Amino acid sequence: MEKKSRGRPRKFDESEVLNKILNVFWQQGYAATSLDDISAATNLNRPSLYSAFGDKKSIYQTALNRFTKQFLKDLELALNSDDSLRHDLISFYNAALLVYQPSKKINLGCPVLSNAITETYLNKVIRDDTSSALAKIDKLLEKRFVLAIEKGELGADKNPKLLSQITAAILHSLAIRVRAQQNSFAYKKFIEDSIDELIGN
C-alpha cells in the first residue's frame, strides 16, 4: 500500500525561502540566529520549517550549500569569457564583489568566510563543506592560470597552483574588508593593482 505523505503539501517557493534563510544567517551569524528569527523572515512556522529542511543545523547547511553552488558557478563563468587573463580576473573579483557588497548600504561580505568559518572548529560537516568550497575556488583559478600559460599569456615558469592560492587570498581579503565595512577602501583599485602585481600589466 502506498504510504501517504503527512501534513499539507508545500505552498512556498523553496528557492525564495532559502534566500531569506541565508540572509538571516548572513546578517546575524549562525549562533545568534534562532528558529524564531528564521520563522519570522520566511513566514513559516517551526513545524513547517522542520518538515521542509530539518533542524537549525540542517537548515543552515542547506541554505549555505545552495549559496556556495551558485557562487562557484558565477565565479567559473567570470573566469571563462574567452578574453584575456587580466579581463577574466577582474570579472572574477567583480562577480564576488557584487555578492559581497550589492550596494553601498549592504556590506555583508561572504557567508562562508564571514559566518561559516566561525562554526568550523566545532562542526565537522560545516568544516568539511567550507574546506571543500575554498578548494574548489583554488581549482577554478588554477585551471584558468594553466590555460593562460598554454596560451602564452604567462611564462611557462609560472606556478599555477601558487598563483591560484594568492588570487584566492586576495578574494578572501575583499570579503573580510567588506564585512568590516571599510567603505573608504578603494576596492576596484586594489583589485586592478593586485592583478598587475600578480601577472604584470
68-100 per-position pLDDT tens digit: 999 999 999 999 998 999 999 999 999 999 999
CATH of the domain at 110: 1.10.357.10
The reported pLDDT for the residue numbered 200 is 84
φ, ψ at 200 (rounded to 5°): 90, 160
54-73 per-position pLDDT tens digit: 999 999 999 999 999 999 99
The reported pLDDT for the residue numbered 119 is 86
- Amino acid code (one letter) for 122: L
The reported pLDDT for the residue numbered 201 is 65
Nine-digit cell at 97?
564583489
The domain tally of the chain equals 1
Q: How far is CA 131 from the centre of its chain?
A: 12
Could you tell me if residue 9 is inside a domain? no
Report in angstroms the alpha-carbon separations of 170 from 46, 92, 97: 40, 11, 12
Measured CA to CA, the distance from residue 86 to residue 139 in angstroms comes to 18
> Are the CB atoms for 22 and 38 separated by under 8 Å?
no
Could you tell me if residue 46 is inside a domain? no
Could you tell me if residue 109 is inside a domain? yes
Q: Which domain holds residue 78?
A: 65-199
The answer to whether residue 1 scores a pLDDT higher than 90 is no
The confidence band for 46, taking pLDDT boundaries of 50, 70 and 90, is: very high
Could you tell me if residue 7 is inside a domain? no
The answer to whether residue 6 scores a pLDDT higher than 60 is no
Could you tell me if residue 119 is inside a domain? yes
Helix axes 85-100, 56-79, angle to 10 degrees: 150
Could you tell me if residue 19 is inside a domain? no
Q: How far is CA 139 from the centre of its chain?
A: 15
Burial class (CB in 10 A: 0-12, 13-18, 19+), 184: exposed
DSSP 8-state symbol, 110: -
Q: Quick one: which H or E segment has residue 105?
A: none
102-141 per-position pLDDT tens digit: 887 889 999 998 888 888 888 898 899 999 999 999 999 9
Could you tell me if residue 107 is inside a domain? yes
Could you tell me if residue 131 is inside a domain? yes
The three-class DSSP label of residue 106 is strand
Q: What secondary structure does DSSP assign to 89-153, as a single string?
A: HHHHHHHHHHHH-SBTTB----HHHHTGGGGTTT-HHHHHHHHHHHHHHHHHHHHHHHHHHHTTS
Phi-psi region of 12 (alpha: psi -120 to 50; beta: other; left: phi over 0): beta
Measured CA to CA, the distance from residue 187 to residue 34 in angstroms comes to 34
> Are the CB atoms for 129 and 119 separated by under 8 Å?
no
Grid cell 600559460 — which residue? 149
